Structure formats: C-alpha cells, structure tokens
Amino acid sequence: MRKRSQVIIVGGGPVGVGLAVDLGLRGISCTLVERRIGMHNIPKGQNLAQRTLERFYFWGCVDELRAQRLLPPEVPAAGVTAYKSLMSEYWHIFAGREIVNDFYFEKNDRMPQYLLESVLRRKLERLPLVETCFGWRARSVEQDDASARVTIENEAGDGAPRVLEADYVVGCDGGHSIVREAAGIARQGSDYEQTMVLAVFRSRELSEGLKRFPMQSTYRVLHPELNGYWQFFGRIDPEEGWFFHAPVPNNTTRDNYDFAALLHQAAGFAFACAFDYVGFWDLRVAVARRYRADRIFIAGDAAHSHPPYGGFGLNNGLEDVANLGWKLAARLRGFGGEGLLDSYDAERRPVFKEIGDEFIAARIKWEGELINRFDPAREPEAFRRTWEELKSGSGPIVANYEPNYEGSPVVFGPPNGVSRARGTYIAKARAGHHLTPRKLSSGRNVFEELGDGFALLAFDAQDDAVARFETRARRHGIPLKVIRDTCRDGREDYEARLVLVRPDQYVAWTAEQRHGDNDAEDVLRKVTGVAA
C-alpha cells in the first residue's frame, strides 16, 4: 500500500470513484479508501443529467455507460404525476430534462446507480496512478501545514491501522461523513422530521396495471394528506423491477408496517410483489457551511444531503467532481493558485444552497399547497384549473435550472453577478455558464476538440490576440488549446470572437472584439486563481 499520494479520497461511492477517475486521468496520484468491497444493489440515483453524461464522455466511457441502460431508448426520464393514486382520473406527464438537451453535448439518460458505479470501477482498474483500498474504513483525518493524513483500518479487523499521507484529502463519504466532522464543518438546512421508506421490489402485475399510460420511467402520486411529499414509483427495467419511496410514520420499522398495502394504496390497485430491499432515511435538506478546510475538501452527499426529489444528488455530486478535479490538478501541477481551490466552495456551495431552497423545499411547499387547495369531488372546475397549473409548472422548473458561476472570483462574470442554480438557457457564451455545443467547419462538435485543459475558441479573431494567450499560457505552464474557426454557421450564436473555456466546459472569459478586450496575462492569472 502506497504511504503517500497527492490526494486521498475517502468514500468510493459514485462521487469518490468519479473523482479518482478524473484525477487519475489528469496524471494525479491518489488513494481511494472505501469500506465496501462489493457493490450495493440499490438502484438510487437513476435520473442522469446531461452534465453527468458529458463527464463520462470526457472520461472516455460514455458508450459503455449508455450500454447499461435497462429501459428502451424511447422511454423518457420524466413520468406521470397522479392525484391520490395512479388509477385516478387526474394525471399528467411532467416535463423531464429532455427539454434542455440542445444545450448540452450529451443527452440525459437513465439507469440504476449501481450500473453507473460499475462502469466507473472498471475505468479505475485501467488507471495506474489510482490505488484502491476497498474493504478499508477511514477512522480519523488530520492535517497540518505540511500534509493531511488519514488513518484507516481493514474492515475484516485483521492487522494494525495504517496512516496514509497526501497533499489533500477529499471526503466523498456520504451524508454521515467523518471527513466533514473531522474538519469541523457544520451543516445548515431543513430537517423535516419525516421518515421515508425506500423499497426495491419485483412485480409484473404492477407493470401490467400501469399500461393505461405510455411507458414512463417514474410515476408520482400527490396525495393531499402528504402535503407535497411524493409517493414515488421508479422503474428499474421494463418487465418487473421497481423501486418506491414515500413518507411513512416516524416509528416505522421493517416489522411493524404493511409495505405491500402502502404500495397498493399508492398504485390504486392490489398486485403481487416480491421485496428485495426495504430501508429508511430521514427527509432532510442539509448543506455544509463550507466545502473546504485548508487541505480538506468535501464533495457529493458529504457536502449536501437532500431527498431524491428532482434527481439532484448524484448529478450534483459528479458536478462537484467536475469542478474540483481540474482545480486540484492545476494546483498540484503548479499553475493554479490557492484562489482556484477556494473557488470550489465559492462556485458550488451557493448552487446547491439554492437547489435545496428553491428546487426541493419550495417545490414540496408549492405542490403541497396546490394539491390541498380544492377538493375535486366538491369543486371539480377549480380543481381542474389547479391541476393544470401543476402540470404547466413542471416545464419551468426544469428550464429554470441552469447552474452558473457568475459570481465566481475566477471568472469574468457580470458586475454584481452571483453563483446560483437558477438561470436561463441561451446559446450566447457567457462567463460563468456552461458552454453550449456548436458544430465547427470541420463537421466536428466544439466539445470534441476541447480536450482536458483550457481551450480558447477564436472565431475570426485577430492572430496577435490569440498569440498573446498562447505565449502567456506557455510561460505559466497552463495547458491551452486554441480552436480557430469562422464566426458563422451557428458559431455567431456565441456572440463573441474569443471564448476562454475551462477544463470543466464552463466559460471563464469572452471578448466580443476580434482583438480581445483584456490583457491576456490578467485573464489567465484570474482564471487560474493566481490573482483572484
């Protein structure tokens, strides 16, 4: 076992393994510590956003990931919402992430989380710089000016504890993170004091009974008594695999509750089913007060916990990886400043805070109020109008979710810009926003040319402006690829002649003029956190 590496990652769920893959591909040595040896088989995060698929594209395993999909390709990630039960006369199909596919290089997808994790674990095996310690539990974490250290113990209990050392430690160890605790990072958020059940089961009769709908991935029930909390069926496969989550009384255990009866009530009919798993979690939205404490970082559920409403957990954890991976590599390779590492917190934390407040908690409240406003038996017309409001509200929820870093100290965002989850989808290249894909004259997409460093898109830009960036980047050891083309055939949509794109495909700086408006040295110093 290697005693020292550049980064130790505690927790080998999807976020920890994703970070190990990202760092390993960037030439950073890391040690991954995960207490489990095998994989869990709980489907969990199924709803994979476009950005998650973009990650797999850049990691070179997007086709392998898509091949894992269990549902037919035409089945959308979205689903049915019904009133009181799935047999109700009130139901509609709500908008899924498909509606913003044009703004990303990869389309969204859907599959059980363990299949995604298995692709990542296989990728890890091909990365010599990553050492894996499966079956080892992190017991303590400490740091000083020189390094960070993690004490680990074998789960089998044989042998003495070992101490691993690194420049940085990243806690990807889930909601009960010991890394977060060791770093003294507190959390804030809402505790709903509501127990939720997660059941995984098989039932062909349920699949048959839902043939009144075109086949969907998910089926949500809004019941007035639940005040906006969902009873949620998710398909695992087209034939018989299902998972279900819903609120249950707080004293529920595996032995004192009739879970089949709950499923039948939510579905609106009785059906035979075989349970594979029943577990519980507490409904909570909690965000860490900071994502960094000197040499220690946290990512994924360790940094933000929340109910699976809207598919934010896994996707945001992997977006943390996209944000942190290149920054750690830049610092360790010498061209990134301390300000770049600080920007991980400045960019990612406000985004998740707003997701928790506005996309999860506010949605529970909004749906709870609407569903209780009228009784369809007594006020059918008024209820029908409210139901229409619920249906038409789902599109804007998806379309308003455009995470961006306009307030980041390492991008040239607008004056008084703030980093947030809410934004607008337009093709214009805007500092702090994800780059919209466009075709190049070669027929290839700009995303196929970006590479893993910075990229300067130069569309009919002046040669000397481009040369200044190339010279300065070379001097500071910043990996920079120049992509030259004309400013037409769709590329004029960027409304910029020069666009500096970060290694995470977010725009850091733009210039409308062919000669660039800023000094290349100033731009590069700021976007690498040297002058932030």
Of 201, 353, 374, 336, whose CA–CA distance to 285 is shortest?
A: 353
Q: What is the C-alpha separation between 86 and 264, in angstroms, rounded?
A: 10
Structure tokens of 256?
């004192």
Q: Which is nearer to ligand FAD, 114 or 460 (CB)?
A: 114
Asked if 14 interacts with ligand FAD (CB under 6 A), we say: yes
Tokens of 103: 């703004």
> Residue 44 or residue 472: which is nearer to ligand FAD going by CB?
44
Closest to ligand FAD by CB, 172 vs 431, is 172
Inter-residue contact 430 to 501 (CB < 8 Å): no
150: contact with ligand FAD by CB under 6 A:
no
**CA 370/CA 276 separation, integer angstroms:** 35
- Closer of 169 and 466 to ligand FAD (Cβ): 169
Q: Does the protein bind ligand FAD through residue 313 (CB under 6 A)?
A: yes
Of 27, 63, 78, 49, give the one whose Cα is nearest residue 329.
Answer: 27
Residue (301 or 342) nearer to ligand FAD, CB: 301
Site string for ligand FAD, 95-114 (x = CB under 6 A): ------------------x-
Residues 413, 406 contacting (CB under 8 angstroms): yes
The three-state DSSP-derived secondary structure of 494-520 is HCCCEEEECCCCEEEEEECCCCCCCCH
171 lines the binding site for ligand FAD (CB under 6 A): no
Cα 505 to Cα 344: distance, rounded to the nearest angstrom: 15
| Residue 35 in the binding site for ligand FAD (CB under 6 A) | yes
Taking CB under 6 A as the rule, does residue 116 contact ligand FAD? no
Quick one: DSSP state of residue 469? H
- Residue 530 · residue 338 · CB < 8 Å: no
Where in 176-215 is the site for ligand FAD (CB under 6 A)? Answer: 178, 198
Positive or negative, the Cα torsion across 425, 426, 427, 430?
negative
Q: How far is the CB of 401 from ligand FAD (least distance, A)?
A: 12
231 makes contact with ligand FAD (CB under 6 A): no
Q: Which of residues 239-258 bind ligand FAD (CB under 6 A)?
A: 245
| From 96, 311, 350, 516, residue interacting with ligand FAD (rule: CB under 6 A) | 311
Q: Is 138 one of the binding residues for ligand FAD (CB under 6 A)?
A: yes
Please choose, out of 44-52, 97-105, 338-346, 406-414, the segment that lies near ligand FAD by the rule CB under 6 A.
44-52
**Residue 473 engages ligand FAD in binding (rule: CB under 6 A):** no
| Contact call for residues 503 and 326 (beta carbons, < 8 A) | yes
Q: Which residues bind ligand FAD (CB under 6 A)?
A: 10-16, 33-36, 44-47, 113, 137-138, 172-174, 178, 198, 245, 300-301, 308, 311-315, 317
